[in-house]
């Protein structure tokens, strides 16, 4: 799904970010719900836990995730955003220790989380050569952040907020354990999240519009069908079967794909500090999951 970061950049050239997010999940929800209905697999929420799961997924995995990710990508490249996003599994372990019973958090685990956060700081490090003046369209409350961090730093910090939403949401869904199947939960959550995004778009004064132009329509279609209907469906299913940690491991495959597509389509370059930051995040993940990694290496060598 790394190409989705490049598709977001293309769409943001002509569509306001929150409205773009709303369009994304309009398409994702319609495709998912219609497909499930055609297959006779469209379950409806029956118990309170189903409603809780839909709301948590809509609020955190859809609304908070896309709100901060799309606004963040206004100020930084898709390649850098994808590297920050790879912090997902590291934060998931931290939230699991806080929210799931039977999950401990040792001192060495704190080192792993710390390495992940250092990775994000390396990515968001101020660039002395950058122009640290807030763009005209940026919210006024971000002006100080632009002065300190510069555009890439502000963008990375906003994407980091998106990662917090995804990590917390995935662990909370595991805790709720709703009986409704994962794919219908995905479809209903995208529908509710789309409504939230459209409401936020209006509240923030974004101008209503209809996407137009070949590349804009292609970008909206890609993030709606591939990144949302297919991607979220696979993510929710994997999370239900294997847990939030395994589901979020896909984050480590995203930066290489996003970097290649960003280079090929948008002539982007991944800064050396971003590569160093990703290395810190990956090492933090290995520290946090040392026992599981050791066991898998043992199976391979055997």
- Rounded Cα distance, 274 and 79, in Å: 9
pTM for this prediction: 0.76
Asked if 248 and 92 touch (Cβ cutoff 8 Å), the reply is: yes
Asked if 185 and 236 touch (Cβ cutoff 8 Å), the reply is: yes
For residue 154, report the phi and psi dihedrals to the nearest 5 degrees.
-65, -45
pLDDT, greater one: 71 or 236: 71
CB atoms under 10 Å from CB of 299, counted, come to 8
Q: What is the pLDDT of residue 161?
A: 92
Asked if 121 and 281 touch (Cβ cutoff 8 Å), the reply is: no
CB atoms under 10 Å from CB of 61, counted, come to 27
CB atoms under 10 Å from CB of 51, counted, come to 15
- Rounded Cα distance, 155 and 73, in Å: 6
| Domains held by the chain: number | 1
Asked if 105 and 94 touch (Cβ cutoff 8 Å), the reply is: yes
CA 211 to chain centre: 23
- If we measure between CA atoms, which residue out of 117, 242, 100 comes closest to residue 168? 100
Place of tokens 């799309």: 70
Residue 256: pLDDT band by 50, 70, 90 thresholds? low
Q: Which residue range is the domain that position 168 belongs to?
A: 3-301
- Rounded Cα distance, 109 and 96, in Å: 12
First and final CA of the chain: distance in angstroms? Answer: 33
Q: What percent of the chain has pLDDT over 90?
A: 30
Q: What is the pLDDT of residue 96?
A: 75
- Rounded Cα distance, 195 and 60, in Å: 14
Give 174-229 pLDDT, tens digit per residue. 888 889 988 899 999 999 999 999 999 999 999 899 988 898 999 999 888 988 88
Query: In the structure encoding, which two tokens stand for residue 73, read together?
Result: 């990508």
pLDDT at 264 over 70: no
Give 96-138 pLDDT, tens digit per residue. 777 766 566 666 667 777 777 777 677 666 554 554 555 555 5
- If we measure between CA atoms, which residue out of 174, 166, 172, 167 comes closest to residue 241? 174
């Amino acid at each position: 799904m790394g190409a989705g970061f490049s598709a977001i950049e293309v769409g943001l050239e002509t569509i306001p970010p929150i409205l773009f997010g709303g369009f994304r999940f309009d398409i994702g929800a319609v495709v998912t719900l219609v497909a499930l209905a055609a297959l006779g697999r469209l379950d409806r929420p029956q118990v309170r836990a189903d409603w809780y799961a839909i709301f948590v997924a809509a609020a955190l995995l859809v609304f908070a995730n896309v709100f901060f990710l799309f606004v963040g990508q206004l100020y930084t490249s898709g390649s850098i955003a994808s590297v920050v996003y790879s912090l997902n599994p590291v934060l998931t372990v931290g939230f699991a220790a806080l929210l799931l019973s039977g999950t401990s958090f040792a001192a060495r685990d704190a080192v792993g989380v710390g390495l992940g956060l250092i990775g994000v700081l390396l990515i968001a490090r101020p660039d002395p050569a950058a122009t640290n003046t807030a763009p005209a369209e940026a919210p006024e409350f971000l002006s100080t952040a632009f002065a300190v961090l510069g555009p890439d730093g502000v963008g990375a910090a906003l994407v980091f907020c998106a990662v917090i939403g995804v990590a917390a949401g995935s662990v909370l869904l595991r805790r709720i354990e709703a009986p409704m199947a994962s794919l219908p939960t995905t479809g209903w959550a995208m529908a509710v999240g789309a409504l939230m995004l459209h409401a936020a778009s209006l509240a923030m004064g974004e101008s209503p519009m209809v996407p137009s132009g070949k590349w804009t329509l292609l970008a909206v279609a890609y993030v709606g069908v591939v990144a949302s209907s297919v991607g979220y469906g696979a993510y929710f299913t994997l999370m239900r079967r294997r847990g939030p940690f395994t589901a979020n491991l896909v984050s480590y495959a995203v930066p290489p794909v996003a970097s290649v597509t960003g280079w090929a389509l948008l002539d982007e370059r991944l800064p050396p500090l971003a590569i160093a930051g990703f290395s810190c995040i990956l090492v933090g993940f290995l520290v946090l999951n040392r026992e599981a990694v050791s066991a898998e290496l043992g199976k391979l060598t055997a």
